[in-house]
């Protein structure tokens, strides 16, 4: 069982009154982590674990009401004088989850709720509105390099210099670029098993969630859009071109991409804008949270070093790893790409009130990359070249 970066934060919030909601895509280990917390707490506190996509569990809570909850908690041995923990898995499956959680928080202050959801914050807007000031949302995404290697970190933005397993780290990066880092994939040594499991994960993400919860007029178009986006990783995405290829309006394409973002399949990187006429600010880049999913979409699992798209894969790998660290560290880094009309490009710009960094990605380790004079006036705090030799220092 992997030690997840978010575990420390979850443990630090156990004594707070707020409801904890661990959310993210399916099959990244949310239920495993919830059960791990349950096992740790159970010896010292009254606890109960329910999976809310189980009709039996749904029937227990039924139509949420204070009297019903009083009876349920009394039968479980929960008493007002003692802290108790209610673990709820897959809360997006319970129709009135917002009312249920609100009643528990408002009327049973000694009952701490820790929940999981396979839906994103955008899909949980009802919870955001009804539980204002009553909850913490904590993201969980596919495994990071440090989690796979069992490296405990103090600061997600400071590489621990004590780490010496550089060859192993770089081999894992190559594996991440082809097969991704879902827990079920990492534990399977045979490539045939990895490929079959990735297709299964993709089907569950697309069909079990998107097609179940979203009322899509043309579900097959979503699959075609995923394929087009998979081939455009690292390139500017033109919504008008996509609309033409898909036979639909630009606004519909925008909505479909937003749907893919809701379910943690892709994310967008906006352009860095400085109000200069020479800069292009109308297009964005779209990356995949997990490259195993991306490669499953196009059914291509060629080894990394033999691929003609390894530059795009490496760029996606670095950007996604950085955004994961940004989420887990809860740092207010803004992230962009930067491209001028003349074609000069910086793969990644990081900005906050303390730092401004420019990152360039390359798959070769020979030669020295240089940053164009087009960016000289920016005066960043740091300019970095990330390649296959030092990539582990930025993707861990």
Q: pLDDT tens-digit profile of 341-388?
A: 777 788 988 888 677 888 888 887 665 555 666 566 667 677 788 888
* Per-residue confidence (pLDDT) for residue 142, from 0 to 100: 96
* Per-residue confidence (pLDDT) for residue 155, from 0 to 100: 65
Strands of 111-117's sheet, edge to edge?
Answer: 47-51, 84-89, 111-117, 19-23, 135-139
* Per-residue confidence (pLDDT) for residue 302, from 0 to 100: 97
* Per-residue confidence (pLDDT) for residue 253, from 0 to 100: 94
* Per-residue confidence (pLDDT) for residue 278, from 0 to 100: 44
- 8 A C-beta contact, residue 23 and residue 116: yes
- How many Å apart are CA 142 and CA 140, to the nearest integer? 7
Q: What is the pLDDT of residues 44-61, one digit of tens each?
A: 999 999 999 999 999 999
The count of other CB atoms within 10 Å of the CB of residue 364 is: 10
- 8 A C-beta contact, residue 139 and residue 10: no
Torsion of CA 24, 25, 26, 30, to 10 degrees: -20
- How many Å apart are CA 20 and CA 41, to the nearest integer? 15
Task: Kindly list the distances between the CA atom of residue 260 and the CA atoms of 121, 284, 333, in Å, as whole numbers in the listed order.
Answer: 13, 15, 23
* Per-residue confidence (pLDDT) for residue 372, from 0 to 100: 60
* Per-residue confidence (pLDDT) for residue 262, from 0 to 100: 87
Closest CA to 327 of 69, 137, 80, 132: 137
- How many Å apart are CA 110 and CA 268, to the nearest integer? 40
Which residues of the chain fall short of a pLDDT of 50?
A: 278-279, 281
Q: Kindly give, in sequence order, each residue whose CB lies less than 8 Å from that of residue 157, ignoring residues fewer than 6 positions away.
A: 325, 329, 331
**Does an H or E element contain 51, and which?**
strand 47-51
Q: Which domains are present in the chain?
A: 7-140 (3.40.50.300), 147-395 (1.10.10.10)
Please provide residue 95's backbone torsions phi and psi, each rounded to the nearest 5 degrees. -55, -40
* Per-residue confidence (pLDDT) for residue 353, from 0 to 100: 67
* Per-residue confidence (pLDDT) for residue 279, from 0 to 100: 47
* Per-residue confidence (pLDDT) for residue 194, from 0 to 100: 97
């Amino acid at each position: 069982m992997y030690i997840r970066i978010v575990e420390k934060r979850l443990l630090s919030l156990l004594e707070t009154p707020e409801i904890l909601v661990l959310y993210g895509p399916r099959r990244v280990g949310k239920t495993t982590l919830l059960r791990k917390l349950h096992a740790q707490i159970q010896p010292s506190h009254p606890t109960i674990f329910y999976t809310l996509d189980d009709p039996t569990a749904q029937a227990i809570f039924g139509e949420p009401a204070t009297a019903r909850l009083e009876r349920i908690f009394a039968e479980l041995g929960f008493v007002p004088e003692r802290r108790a923990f209610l673990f709820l898995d897959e809360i997006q499956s319970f129709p009135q989850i917002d009312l249920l959680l609100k009643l528990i928080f408002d009327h049973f202050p000694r009952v701490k709720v820790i929940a999981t959801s396979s839906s994103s914050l955008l899909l949980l807007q009802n919870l955001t509105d009804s539980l204002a000031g009553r909850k913490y949302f904590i993201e969980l995404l596919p495994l990071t390099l440090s989690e796979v290697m069992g490296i405990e970190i103090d600061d997600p933005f400071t590489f621990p210099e004590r780490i010496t397993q550089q060859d192993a780290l770089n081999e894992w990066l190559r594996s991440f670029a082809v097969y991704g880092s879902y827990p079920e994939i990492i534990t399977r040594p045979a490539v045939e098993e990895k490929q079959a499991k990735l297709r299964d994960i993709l089907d569950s993400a697309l069909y079990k969630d998107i097609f179940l919860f979203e009322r899509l007029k043309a579900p097959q178009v979503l699959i075609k859009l995923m394929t087009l986006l998979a081939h455009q990783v690292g390139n500017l995405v033109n919504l008008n071109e996509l609309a033409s290829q898909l036979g639909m309006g630009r606004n519909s394409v925008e909505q479909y991409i937003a749907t893919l973002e809701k379910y943690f399949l892709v994310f967008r990187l906006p352009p860095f804008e400085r109000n200069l006429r020479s800069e292009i600010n109308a297009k964005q880049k779209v990356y995949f949270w997990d490259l195993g999913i991306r490669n499953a979409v196009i059914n291509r699992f060629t080894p990394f070093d033999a691929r003609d798209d390894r530059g795009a894969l490496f760029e996606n790998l670095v950007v996604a790893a950085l955004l994961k660290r940004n989420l887990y560290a809860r740092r207010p880094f803004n992230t962009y790409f930067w491209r001028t009309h003349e074609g000069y490009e910086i793969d990644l710009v990081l900005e906050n009130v303390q730092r401004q960094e420019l990152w360039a990605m390359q798959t070769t380790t020979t030669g020295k990359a240089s940053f164009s004079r087009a960016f000289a006036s920016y005066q960043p705090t740091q300019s970095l070249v990330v390649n296959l030799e030092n990539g582990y220092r930025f993707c861990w």
